[in-house]
Each structure stands twice: as C-alpha cells, then as structure tokens.
Amino acid sequence: MSTTKQVKLVLVKSLNGRLKSHIQCARGLGIRRINNPVVVIDTPENRGMINKISYLLQVEEV
C-alpha cells in the first residue's frame, strides 16, 4: 500500500486564452481535457502548480 498522498484534479474551465505559463502548469500536471480526471502525487512542486491554476481546477484529496 502506498503511503504517498495523492490529489485528483479535474479541469473545469478551458485553457483557451490563458497565460502561457498557466497552460504549461496544466500540461506539467498531466491535464489534457476538460472533465478528464488526473491523479498526481501531492508534492510541493505539484501543489505550487495547482495553486497557480486553482481557478481552472476542481481539486479533491484521494
């Protein structure tokens, strides 16, 4: 059993017309499409990217 915390992310708003750095954060987290859930490990690096684009995401602890 894994002891690392994970976070489930769902893109709820489009990336069209967003800042390039915000689009890169979404790609870095593995987000591809709206309403397509992605599970990532809860690290400080990932948490920083999540905070940067939090207005586009729905975040849920797994």
Domain spans, the chain? 6-61
Query: Tens digit of pLDDT for each residue in 20-39?
Result: 999 999 999 999 999 999 99
Superfamily (CATH H level) for 6-61: Ribosomal protein L30/L7 (3.30.1390.20)
Q: Check residue 2 and give its pLDDT.
A: 59
Q: For residues 40 and 37, give the distance between their C-alpha atoms in angstroms, rounded to a whole number.
A: 10
Q: Is the pLDDT of residue 1 over 70?
A: no
pLDDT of residue 17: 97
pLDDT above 90 coverage of the chain, percent: 92
* 18 pLDDT above the threshold of 90: yes
Query: Could you tell me the two tokens for 55?
Result: 């207005």
- Residues belonging to the chain: 62
